[in-house]
A and B are shown apart, each in its own frame.
Chain A
Amino acid sequence: MTGFLTVPARIAVGLAVALAVVGCGGDDEPAGDASPGALSGDLTVFAAASLTEAFTQIGEEFGAANPGVAVTFNFAGSSTLAQQINEGAPADVFASANPANMQTVTDAGNAAGEPTTFARNQLVIAVAAGNPLGITGLADLADPDVKVALCAEQVPCGAAAQTALAAAGVELTPVTLEQDVRAALSKLTLGEVDAALVYRTDVAAVGSAVAGIDFPEAASAVNDYPIVVLADAPNPQAAAAFVAYVLASAGQAVLAQAGFQTL
């Protein structure tokens, strides 16, 4: 780490980093602020794929505030991450897109302490920009001429979709049951379907090509996102600091901007 280095040494280290010889990670802060007890080392965060944009930004901000810490993310489906953790993957923090996958980790004794809910996510009807078919609610999706992509029931967005459809009393036959929420959304952005039930955050991440339509039954299928420090965390201090950062106002602001409901 460069904290105690002189200016020429910092230039040398900077050069080394530029040459990709050493990956010190995020060393652009002024030297000398690494007081004893400051956080350092690598921090590995396993986070649900739907957190990709928000956590990447939180990671940058957290890294800027803690220049000694190099944050790396493993973004994937929550169930995949839970399996990896239970098979012994070296992770410090787990942020899941639903409580069920978090529970498989806590049940296996791999969490240090109780998980905390840090955000909530809600389904919307995603349609092409401008809503060419004039869809206003779930009932419109039952029209056989409207091609709909849902997530498979085995993944959180699919389970939430089934709950919402049941709450609305709407029966529909989708053309596909996708393996994750981004795959469902990409069927829409490619123009192969007319609508997809996805999370509001996914619509926010895709940008202006897609519009999200809120519907009242979504309230019955809100997804809680829990986060926890892992029992075998190689860097428990930094892990606790990261979780605290996500729960504090700075982290919550980033999550809100990404379309999450915050606490």
Chain B
Amino acid sequence: MTARRRPGSRAPLLLVVPAIAGLALLVLPLAGLLIRTPWSSLPQRLTAPGILDALRLSLLAATAATLLCLLLGVPLAWLLARARFPGRRVVRAMVTVPLVLPPVVGGVALLLVFGRRGIVGSWLAATFGITLPFTTAGVILAEAFVAMPFLVIAVEGALRGADPRYEEAAATLGASRWTSFRRVTLPLVAPGIAAGAVLCWARALGEFGATITFAGNFPGRTQTMPLAVYLALETDLEAAIVLSLILLVVSVTILASLRDRWLNSP
């Protein structure tokens, strides 16, 4: 159904007032940042050493984390939406654990599993010589842990909204379950996957607590922009504001250009 505006109808005040208040709550802190931005010294701060490294690492790690989440999260969402198995409700609740857990606690939990003495971590080190803490791979893992629920929940919602009769029709025409997932289901829920991926990427980009706890903070290797912002805040509020703005501008630009591309594609 397309939304059609009838002549004379107006958005009800009961919706407009809280909507504006909600928008103000989201946007005012940003205005606060802009007010305190040291515009005159902006160019020299932008070229300060380390900023580009942190930005590059942030974009790389958030993108890699999103790809990892797509690889693991879409099948998980499909399982939750389509498959029937005992304990599905429990599994669905488990998916939201990283949302509830304070990220720092999530980071400690990751260390206990993937750390040098962790159950999986000690095995990885002994078998493959792989250590995750204090590495870029560790940053990606921490971000994926925190961001994956956003993707899974969005994709599961899209799958539940998609009409299963298309899949059934594909099945009656002889398509295997994998073929119908690939050729029918995925295109059907592509907008949901895109929305989930954007949320996931944005959350990964802003990730702080789990990253610094699990991967530590070392420039060029594990220091992402949020970590650089936090440390800048220790000594130099203006530097922290500039770093925040850079992160914000870059991420909004990327999201907006992607959105245009998706909307313009046939």
Contacts and interface: CB of A to CB of B under 8 A. Distances in A.
Interface of A: 77, 79-80, 83, 147, 149, 152, 154-155, 174-179, 183, 186-187, 190-192
Given A149-B216, A176-B216, A176-B217, A192 B134 contact: yes
A221 B223 CA distance: 26
Given A179-B217, A183-B212, A154 B134 contact: no
B230 interface: yes
A187 B216 contact: yes
Nearest to B208: A179
Contact of B217 (A77, A80, A83, A177): A177
B237 interface: yes
B175 to A, nearest CB: 49
Given A177-B218, A178-B217, A179-B230, A192 B111 contact: yes
B134 A190 contact: no
Interface residues of B, number: 24
B60 to A, nearest CB: 19
A238 B174 CA distance: 83
Given A175-B218, A178-B217, A152 B234 contact: yes
Nearest to B215: A176
Given A190-B115, A191-B115, A192-B111, A154 B234 contact: yes
20 contacts: A79-B235, A83-B233, A83-B237, A147-B134, A149-B216, A154-B235, A174-B218, A175-B216, A175-B218, A176-B134, A176-B218, A177-B217, A177-B219, A178-B212, A183-B212, A191-B115, A191-B117, A192-B116, A192-B133, A192-B134
A31 to B, nearest CB: 43
A174 B115 CA distance: 17
Contacts, number: 61
A190 B111 contact: yes
B104 to A, nearest CB: 9
Interface of B: 108, 111-112, 115-117, 133-134, 212-213, 216-219, 222-223, 227, 230-235, 237
A155 B233 CA distance: 10
Contacts of B235: 79, 154
A206 to B, nearest CB: 15
Given A176-B217, A176-B218, A179-B217, A154 B232 contact: yes
B115 A192 contact: yes
Nearest to A152: B231
A174 B219 CA distance: 11
Contacts of A155: 231, 234
Contacts of A191: 115-117
The 10 A-B residue pairs whose C-beta atoms are closest, nearest first, are: A176-B216, A154-B234, A175-B134, A191-B117, A154-B235, A79-B234, A154-B231, A152-B231, A177-B217, A192-B133
Given A190-B111, A191-B117, A176 B222 contact: yes
A190 B231 CA distance: 23
B234 A190 contact: no
Contacts of B111: 190, 192
B125 to A, nearest CB: 12
Contacts of A152: 217, 231, 234
Nearest to B239: A154
A179 B117 CA distance: 23
A202 B54 CA distance: 30
Contacts of A149: 216
